[in-house]
Amino acid sequence: MNKIEFVFNNKLTTIDFDSEDYSPNSTLLQYIRSKDDTKGTKEGCNEGDCGACTVVIVEKINGKLNFKAINSCVMFLPSIHGKQVITIEELGNENILHPIQQIFVDKHASQCGFCTPGFIMSLFAQKAQKINSTKEELIEAVQGNLCRCTGYRPIVVAAEDIAKVSDLSQFSTFADEEKIDSINTKDTITIKKDGYEYYIPFTFEEALRLRKSHPDATISSGGTDLVLKVTKRKEKIYKIIDITMISEIKNIEQNTANFTIGAGTCIEDIYQYSKDKIKPLAEMLSVFGAKQIRNRASIGGNIATASPIGDTLPILLALNASIIVKNTEKERIIKLSDFITGYRQTTLKQDELIYKVIIPKIDDNKIIKSYKISKRTHLDISTVSAGFMLKLNNNIVEDIILAYGGMAAMPKRAKNTEQHLIGKEWKESNILKAAEILKEEFTPLTDARSAADSRKIMTKNLLIKFYEDTKTN
């Protein structure tokens, strides 16, 4: 086939990889910048950190249109199949500005203008998805957009006025549902060019079949980490199975015992759901990248990378999470604590994919909290992160989990410290003794983010902070 189809602004668009100068490793940003009339989308950091390349994606998930701001620099071009892309040029022009653009002008929220299109698109997506968004939600929507000129205050002032815009037609009419529906999202997309192979299945069953046939393929479940291998490390990823179009793994369900999250569910959707349902998880996800990253990154992808500094892993360990993995013949349920075996190593077999994540509901007698230390609050890699679970019985430690990221080759529990605390009173003197054990339990690396000794101190201090947050008197 070698073709993808999508709606670009308001035009149904086809890219034929046989005849056009793009490869399966091209990014959406490269495509947008190659066009003469869409130069408003800027290339800044080219790694998802600055937001200058923000565009809005309209995607149909489980029958509902979703507006999402994303960084076009960390999205492979073929992954846009079946979606609509809205760039800054579509919103307004010099004669008729969109209300968000007009408010930015009126409130002096733009100076050099390089970053402004990204801010506008992030705010547009937030309002289109939720017309009654508050000022605070709008400010959160632009946490992934950097500006060197305005000092942000005019943008914050503009957000107050944008929150008052209540005409949904100013936003929803930009989605062309009829054109989106006209695109074939049933038959697997296969792209082959110059030694590259890129597959887009639309069912999990087909994804498993492809995985079995191509065990050497790289899985893309969002691409926010994967694309950087191409754009920053200059690698070539010759074979990719892109599972981002599979609706059946983009859902969250609950029963009396568990929450079950589809592996393809994006981090932002989990964050919004967790605010009321799984608050310790929401605490961590609130500082997981920025909204544009959370809109693409998936929980299955974050787990599968098995990064020692993956934000979700320590808190999922504290929540006693399990995962369901499948191949074409059977499924396995694996405790997350047993899934990761070493530096970016897991027990996932070559013909398997992560299908669901299972999180037990939190018992009333358990306290669970998450922490992250990084140089910036938002949009930064953690130096040290932690997920803690505490169960007390008359202020005696009955059970405890102390899971850390950034302290070893993989997210790891401090089991010696845990054992020391079990059966002891939850009081300051015992915590301080445990903190000294904890300080010697890991042998972290020194790197650009921190020295090893500093990491040990942070680890100890997080335990003390946990005690201060949970002490009963």
Instruction: Report the sign of the C-alpha dihedral through residues 28, 31, 35, 39, in that order.
Output: positive
Reading the block at residue 237, the tokens are 């990823």
Backbone angles phi, psi at 8, to 5 degrees: -105, 110
CA atoms within 13 A on the CB side of 262: 20
Reported pTM: 0.95
Using alpha carbons, select from 421, 416, 391, 422 the residue that is nearest to residue 404. 416
CA distance 45 to 227: 13
Mean pLDDT confidence for 463-472: 94
> Residue 473 pLDDT more than 70?
no
Asked if 403 and 387 count as a contact pair (C-beta separation under 8 A), the reply is yes
Q: What is the pLDDT of residue 39?
A: 96
What proportions of the chain, in percent to the nearest 5, are helix, strand and coil? 35, 25, 40
Q: Which CATH architecture has domain 1-248?
A: Roll (3.10)
pLDDT in tens, 176-193: 999 999 999 999 999 999
* Residue with token string 């046939």: 213
pLDDT tens for 233-285 read 999 999 999 999 999 999 999 999 999 999 999 999 999 999 999 999 999 99
- SS3 for 370-433 is EEEECCCCCCCCCCEEEEEEEEEECCEEEEEEEEEECCCCCCEECHHHHHHHCCCECCHHHHHH
Do 250-470 and 1-248 fall under one CATH topology? no
Q: What is the pLDDT at residue 150?
A: 78
CA atoms within 13 A on the CB side of 6: 24
pLDDT of residue 111: 87
Residues 257/311/369/387 CA torsion (nearest 10 deg): 90
Residue 184 tokens, joined: 């074939």
How many Å apart are CA 471 and CA 473, to the nearest integer?
A: 6
Q: How far is CA 134 from the centre of its chain?
A: 22
How confident is the model at residue 148, as a pLDDT? Answer: 81
Do residues 238 and 244 make contact, with C-beta atoms less than 8 angstroms apart?
Answer: no
3-state secondary structure of 330: coil
Higher pLDDT, 438 or 94: 438
Residue 57 predicted with pLDDT over 70: yes
Q: Which CATH number fits domain 250-470: 3.30.390.50, 3.40.50.720, 1.25.40.80, 1.20.1070.10?
A: 3.30.390.50
Q: Provide DSSP, 244-285.
A: TT-GGGS-EEE-SSEEEEETT-BHHHHHHHHHHH-HHHHHHH
145 contacts 118 by C-beta, under 8 angstroms: yes
List, for residues 288-342, the tens digit of each pLDDT value. 999 999 999 999 999 999 999 889 999 999 999 999 999 999 999 999 999 999 9
Residue spans of the domains in the chain: they are: 1-248, 250-470
Average pLDDT over all residues of the chain: 95
Which residues, at least 6 apart from 465, have a Cβ–Cβ distance to it below 8 Å?
A: 371
Among residues of the chain, what percentage have pLDDT more than 90? 92
Q: Residue 472 above 80 pLDDT?
A: no
The answer to whether the CB of 280 falls within 8 A of the CB of 319 is yes
- Residues 118-169 have pLDDT tens digits of 999 999 999 999 999 999 999 999 999 999 887 799 999 999 999 999 999 9
For the four alpha carbons of 300, 303, 309 and 315, in that order, the dihedral sign comes to: positive
Contact 201, 211 (CB under 8 A): no
